[in-house]
Amino acid sequence: MSKTGPKLFLLACAISCAAYAQDTPTERQAAKGVIEKLNTLEQSLDIKGLVAKLTAPNKERDKVVARAKQLMDTDMIALGDQITRDPEIGFKEDHAVHTLTTRLKQYGFEPEIGIADLRTAFIAKYKRKTPIAGDAGPHLGVILEYDALRGTKGAFHGDQHSTQGPIGMAAAIAIAEYLDQNKLPGTVTVFGTPGEEMMPPVAKTDMFKAGVFNGIDVMMRSHAVSATVRPAAGFGTCCLNIDGVRYTFSGAPAHQMTPWAGRNALEAVIHLFNNIDSIRGFIRPEARIQGIISEGGAAPNVVPDRAVADFYVRYPDEVYLRQVKKFVDDAAKAAALSTGTKVKIDNYGELRDGISVATLAEPAFAYMKMYGATNILEEPGKPQGYDETGTVSSAIPGIGFEAQTSTAANHTYQMEAEALTDIGHKGFMTDAQSMAALLFDVATRPDYLQLVKKEFAGIKGLFSEYQADLEKAYTEPVVPEPK
């Protein structure tokens, strides 16, 4: 009893905690009905029974997991170390792409490099030796990443993306070989997605829009982390919905002594920052607006005729974010107007809520524990998609494996260092084995895949309902014409 007690509590929490996905009182109010329906949906799925069924002893699954482990031991861990020692920032990951695709070829995948106008993006589909008639699914997808962070001392792998490729490859190769050897239906495709830490461009969104992920039934990915976690079921994002926007002002140059002969673009940027500060007092307090001046003129004795400011505008939901963004755009237009300059608004990227499903997250979590995960957070985390853009994770069901791979926080030199040590290697192994196990379940249990799709479709519908409720919640005042 003492064993099942806490489990029951946690499971109840996995469901009822969904309410905490909403960050603001307005959001919680708008989500009330939706959360109730979400709870009903989750309860109908018998997640506990599902986890017990999937994680029960299974010799076939063990074979796939053992192959993934062997690949990690003999090849992939070393490959990850190699990439860790050769960090390349987003969209310049040429060595990593060459290394990963060369290896994928050796294991029977057919890589295509340069996807959706992104030089360092790739797709590689496994070529079966025992072809299956027609286009029989399931179609399994694995996302690989490999970009390093931009640091003051140069590029570094402080987020351990370096071994994400090898982890995903070990799992993908293991399940692809298994399906092929046993003449079971299914396809396995890996997606090399560059520049996770950078935008523009938003690589996964561009790839999604180009149709690269079309037809994939379930997507998997891993990410480095300092505690073993999984998200609760629902919709959300780790770090608010974000609009990336660049304001480019153009003026006219003139001598410092006769500034009236020119128009000062830097002055316009300074107005923009001040205008934004004046907005902060009367927009909802959860908004985060932060910018930098990336160009501000060339010399003090010339009136700057060009200046550029780059902003991330964030809000917990995308519905009110639209209002915040309009305030910021208007602040830029007002800045231009008051300085006699002109402004160009370039919306270069957005990150949105994704969807997480318990039918994937709970078995994934159970497998991570089974395969040796450490520093386990029993409480499910906030609902969020498995990809940071929200684009892919709100369209295709999937899961990101996050077993502890470091004692340090993300984006640190210590996390980079630990990618090469035991704690990193152990966590990477856990991720690879767990991913292989869950890929096996999705590939070999059609009823399970149907259940995942049912939950995903249910949450997706509820997410739309929630957005519609928010539209009603965020009314705007009527401002009459002055008399």
Chain residues in the site for Zn ion (CB under 5 A) = 159
Which residues sit opposite 149 in a β-bridge? 156
- Quickly tell me which residue has 């029951």 as its tokens: 8
Query: Which residues have a Cβ under 8 Å from the Cβ of 371 and sit 6 or more positions away?
Result: 65, 403, 429, 430, 433, 434, 437
For residue 316, the 8-state DSSP code is S
Q: Which residues of 237-263 are buried (b: 16+ CB within 10 A; e: fewer)?
A: beebbbbbbbbbbbbebbeeeeeeebb
Q: How far is the CB of 167 from Zn ion (least distance, A)?
A: 13
Considering the complex, state which of residue 264 and residue 391 has its C-beta at the smaller distance from Zn ion: 391
Q: Which is nearer to Zn ion, 93 or 159 (CB)?
A: 159
Q: Which is nearer to Zn ion, 138 or 424 (CB)?
A: 424
Output 159 or 353, the one with its CB closest to Zn ion: 159
Least distance from Zn ion to the Cβ atom of residue 10, Å: 27
Between 69 and 382, name the residue whose CB sits nearer to Zn ion. 382
Residue number closest to Zn ion, CB atom? 159
DSSP one-letter string for 168-182:
HHHHHHHHHHHHHHT
CB of 249 to Zn ion, least distance (A): 33
> What minimum distance in Å lies between the beta carbon of 98 and Zn ion?
21
d(CA 431, CA 312): 32
Distance of closest approach, residue 161 Cβ to Zn ion, in angstroms: 6
CB of 28 to Zn ion, least distance (A): 29
- 277, burial (CB in 10 Å: exposed 0-12, middle 13-18, buried 19+): exposed
Q: Which two tokens stand for residue 318?
A: 């995308």
Q: How far is the CB of 155 from Zn ion (least distance, A)?
A: 14
**Which C-beta is closer to Zn ion: that of 198 or that of 376?**
198
Give the nearest distance from C-beta 18 to Zn ion in angstroms. Answer: 25
Query: Whose CA is closest to 379, among 24, 7, 23?
Result: 7
- Least distance to Zn ion from the beta carbon of 147, Å? 8
Q: How long, in residues, is the chain?
A: 483
Considering beta carbons, is residue 179 or 219 the nearer one to Zn ion? Answer: 219
Residue 288 phi, psi (nearest 5): -125, 115
- Nearer CB in complex with Zn ion: 248/389: 389
End-to-end CA distance of the chain: 74
Q: How many CA atoms lie within 13 A of 121 on its CB side?
A: 21
Q: Which is nearer to Zn ion, 159 or 362 (CB)?
A: 159
Distance (Å, whole) CA 470 – CA 194: 33
Contact status, residue 408 vs residue 423, Cβ threshold 8 Å: no
Query: Residue 162 and residue 168: Cα distance in Å, rounded?
Result: 11
> Shortest gap between Cβ of 196 and Zn ion (angstroms)?
5
Q: Which is nearer to Zn ion, 159 or 243 (CB)?
A: 159
284 — phi, psi (to 5°)? -60, 140
Residue 387, both tokens: 């990809």
The letter for the amino acid at 377 is L
Whether the link from the prior residue into 397 is cis, omega within 30° of 0, is no
